[in-house]
Amino acid sequence: MEVPRSRCSAPLRLSYLPDECLVLVFGCLSITERRADWDDDSLEDEPEKLAEEETVTAELPPGLAGFLGVACAAGHLRELSLVVGNVQVHLGPWLLPAASTLRSLHLHQDCIDLALSAAAPLHRLTALQELHLSVDSADLLIERGCRLPSQSLTLLRLGTENSGDSHPHLPPQVSTLSALRTLRLDGTFAPTGFEALAGLPSLRCLCMHDCLALPHCLSELASLQELSICQVRVLSFQPPQEVQRQAVADSLPFLSEGLAELRRLTSLLLDVSNTLPISTLPADLGASLPLLRRFAWRGTHEDEGALPVGLTSLRAAVLPAAVAGRSLAQLAAAPGLEHLALWDSGFAPVLRVVRQLPSLRRLQPSLSGPDLQHVVTAVQGLAPALVVEPFNPRQWWVD
């Protein structure tokens, strides 16, 4: 990079770097260096390391805040992602120079609760469309006075890990997001805060992972087109199965009532493994959801039910192999069904599905290695054009 002559005698300042260099430099910093107290007057200064403690309340070092401020002030920053450990990040005035350019903001705190203070100028980020906030601790804290960009924000993702009995509430500020189209909640949010969802006229997609209860106002989300509920917890401190089953059972009336009103749904993904059988779904689900294109279900291992009738608009489905075997008539009634994925599948159920559903173009059994190859070989004789590949749940429940 060529430095102007008038500056050659002075130390190289971060503010002289173009945007591309700033992004590359920050991306190459190690975790230790990211926690360092950077002096942004000179790149030659040795960073002062922050002390490692079990409980740290240190704020974002002023030098690093200045460094980020330089990136914002350059005027072309579109996306900012901060993953920090024992440093408290305060979203302050250093963000404002990027108010008209910043489209996406990701903030993750590893060790401490996240607190967006009332002074955080998020409402002045008039170009912000995506906001991701998450913590690896008990509570996701957004102070009541903190204002969000209600006119521009179209995607909001909130995540928290909770190992105790208390659960964070959905921030009431969510109810002001008139342009919000996608909301994803990761963690056991308290159901008493879900009433904020009823005031979101533009909401099209709602994803709830690790939830213990469904919104009581589900039936009021008439504009919803995609609903994804996943209760699979991979952490050792997950709620006991009987507690989880009771929590889901308590939510059943709201699920049944809600689905009857969500007539615009085109995608419904329900993973309630080890809690409920598919028979708990309304028998007239097809009549309630005439536009449904994608449907996924994972329930109890002993599920002896079948797919509800009338889902004739289906294009893609995920079902336990045993449930799919008992639902061949329902699946055959959907002439546009082209993609089928099977949980817990074996060789015989897969072949039976292939014989009964000639419209399939893509089949994904939960098999791998020699078992998968055995199926591929057998299917080639029955349906040469059918693509067979291993089932990847992440294609449906995106992480």
**Digit-coded pLDDT (tens) for 238-259:** 455 555 555 555 666 667 788 8
The rounded Cα 235 to chain-centroid distance in angstroms is: 17
Say which residue, 372 or 82, is predicted with more confidence. Answer: 372
Rounded to an integer, what distance in angstroms lies between the CA atom of residue 35 and that of residue 14?
A: 17
The interaxial angle of helices 369-382 and 347-356, nearest 10 deg, is 20
Q: What was the pLDDT predicted at 61?
A: 52
**Residue 17, pLDDT above cutoff 80:** no
Which of the residue ranges 41-55, 108-122, 147-161, 330-344 would you say has the lowest mean pLDDT?
Answer: 41-55
Indicate the pLDDT class of residue 178, thresholds 50, 70 and 90.
very high
Q: Tell me, yes or no, whether 155 lies in a domain.
A: no
Q: Tell me, yes or no, whether 317 lies in a domain.
A: yes
Q: What was the pLDDT predicted at 248?
A: 57
Q: Tell me, yes or no, whether 310 lies in a domain.
A: yes
Q: Tell me, yes or no, whether 90 lies in a domain.
A: no
Beta bridge partners of 5: none
Say which residue, 365 or 86, is predicted with more confidence. Answer: 365
**Residue 38, pLDDT above cutoff 50:** no
Q: What is the pLDDT of residues 317-361, one digit of tens each?
A: 999 888 999 999 999 999 999 999 998 877 787 888 888 898 999
Indicate the number of domains in the chain: 1
**Cβ-contact 80, 106 below 8 angstroms:** yes
Q: Tell me, yes or no, whether 388 lies in a domain.
A: yes
Q: Which residues contact 107 (CB under 8 A, 6 or more apart)?
A: 81, 82, 89, 91, 114, 132, 133, 134
Structural domain boundaries enclosing 328: 277-287+304-392
**Cβ-contact 311, 335 below 8 angstroms:** no
| Residue entry with tokens 């190859």 | 373
Q: Tell me, yes or no, whether 222 lies in a domain.
A: no
Is pTM, for the whole model, over 0.85?
no
Which of the residue ranges 162-166, 220-224, 265-269, 301-305 would you say has the lowest mean pLDDT?
Answer: 162-166
Q: What is the pLDDT of residues 198-211, one digit of tens each?
A: 889 999 999 988 77
pLDDT > 90: percent of the chain: 28
Q: Tell me, yes or no, whether 342 lies in a domain.
A: yes
Say which residue, 204 or 120, is predicted with more confidence. Answer: 204
Q: Tell me, yes or no, whether 331 lies in a domain.
A: yes
Q: What was the pLDDT predicted at 114?
A: 64
Rounded to an integer, what distance in angstroms lies between the CA atom of residue 174 and that of residue 200?
A: 8
What is the pLDDT of the chain when averaged over all its residues?
A: 76
Locate 331 and state its tokens: 């699946």
Rounded to an integer, what distance in angstroms lies between the CA atom of residue 63 and that of residue 77?
A: 19
Strands 267-271, 294-298: parallel, antiparallel or unpaired by DSSP? parallel
Mean pLDDT of 251-277: 81
What's the number of CA atoms in the CB half-sphere (13 Å) around residue 2? 2
Beta bridge partners of 380: none
**Residue 24, pLDDT above cutoff 80:** no
